[in-house]
Amino acid sequence: MKKIGITGQNGFVGKHLYNTLGLHPDKFERVPFDRAWFEDTERMDAFTRECDVIVHLAGMNRHGSPEVILETNVQLADRLADSMARTASKAHIIFSSSTQEERDNHYGRSKLAARERLLDQATKNGTIFTGLVIPNVFGPFGHPFYNSVVATFCHQLTHQEEPKIDNDGELHLIYVGELVAVIIDAIGGSTHAPAMRVAHSATARVSRILSLLQLYRDEYMLKGAIPAFADAFERNLFNTFRSYMDIPDHFPVKFTQHTDPRGSFVEVMRASGGGQTSFSTTHPGITRGNHFHTRKIERFAVLRGEALIQLRRIGTDEVIEFRLNGNEPAYVDMPVWYTHNISNVGQEELLTVFWINEFFDPADPDTYMVTV
């Protein structure tokens, strides 16, 4: 059992890493961290002493003043290094740098200086240092106008805005889940690597990214269709896009009912990429689910009876609730990293249709049981 501390645990990558480590309580113990501790020597030293591994993610990406970016990132690394010196820490230090190191800008220089400062201190302490040089990261819950152009485009397209391309450059990209896997591998390793370049998993021009996201808006938001994905990058981009939608405003989406003397017909799902559709009946008072997925795309459609669907994003306390009734058939989609359930709150049998984008694999179910 390793004790893992994450500076910047409330940031974009930090939250994903923190939540993913929480899926393996038999391997990792997460040591809490608060950014305010950088200003509190006693709390900082207590944190440093407790950790077997420290993943230093805290930093600043953007600011009106480039000098502030440089000063802030170097200062944060200095304070962690000073704490290591005071406590004679033997913690394995994992530092997230950027390929921006190779460019002559304040952010790149700040990451290079911070990496060299922590490497120097780790060497003096006789401990392991892993410096990860990371390409552009994208994924769910990134901050628009701050973390990446993907985050900005997703926010704009899901909020009735039209993005504009300032520079149609080619980007080397890595999905945040893939980066977290790299960091977890480093946590479990013991290799001293002053500057380990993290391989990108996709390459795309800004215009291609925007074109795909516009397709997702038109097909998914406006028509309710799941588009086909050429590869894992497109699936990851789609899940990223979905995370920026205003869930309470968008769902539930009512189906169109076609009625004739024979009864009613309702199209549940139109998916360019296929997937698996199923249905269940649930007795009154019974709850199904209480689990979440990190990659799967799932839809719950209530066709008969009364249902309560609950969702809660992992790492938060807010519970979103939807009441659906088969008299007005509707569906709710389950975002990644939201634990969810469905309960029969009526007096008759509940009929629910489920669709998921991939077949169930017992060896890799991507299903984590957590009560909403």
- pLDDT tens per residue, range 154-165: 999 999 999 999
Please check whether residue 56 is in contact with residue 13, taking contact to mean a CB–CB distance below 8 angstroms.
no
Dist. CA 69–CA 60, nearest whole Å: 6
Least confident of 104-113, 198-207, 294-303: 104-113
Q: How confident is the model at residue 257 (pLDDT cuts 50, 70, 90)?
A: confident
Is residue 260's pLDDT more than 90? no
pLDDT confidence bin for 369, thresholds 50/70/90: very high
- Domains delineated in the chain: 2-209 (3.40.50.720), 248-369 (2.60.120.10)
Q: Does residue 265 surpass a pLDDT of 80?
A: no
pLDDT of residue 269: 83
What pLDDT, on a 0 to 100 scale, did the predictor assign at position 63? 77
Provide the percentage of residues in the chain whose pLDDT is more than 90. Answer: 87
Averaged pLDDT for residues 96-102: 92
Q: What is the DSSP letter of 201?
A: S
Q: What is the mean pLDDT of residues 331-354?
A: 96
Task: Spell out the long-range contacts of 45-50 with Cβ–Cβ below 8 A and sequence spacing 24 or more.
Answer: 45/83, 45/86, 45/87, 47/5, 47/83, 48/5, 48/80, 48/83, 48/84, 48/87, 48/89, 48/91, 49/87, 49/89, 50/3, 50/5
pLDDT of residue 181: 97
What's the pLDDT tens digit per position in 41-77? 999 999 999 999 999 999 998 777 889 999 999 999 9
Work out the pLDDT band at 25, boundaries 50, 70, 90.
Answer: very high
Beta strand pairing status for 287-292 and 338-344? antiparallel
What's residue 299's pLDDT?
Answer: 96
Give me the chain's average pLDDT, please. Answer: 95
223-243 per-position pLDDT tens digit: 999 999 999 999 999 999 999
Tokens 């390929």 identify what position? 99
Nearest to 218 by CA among 272, 157, 273, 163: 157
Tell me the mean pLDDT in the region 290-317.
97
Site of tokens 């920026």: 244
Residue tagged 């799902």 (tokens): 269
Considering the entire predicted model, what is its pTM? 0.91
pLDDT tier for residue 191 given thresholds of 50, 70 and 90: confident
Confidence of residue 275 (pLDDT cuts 50, 70, 90): confident
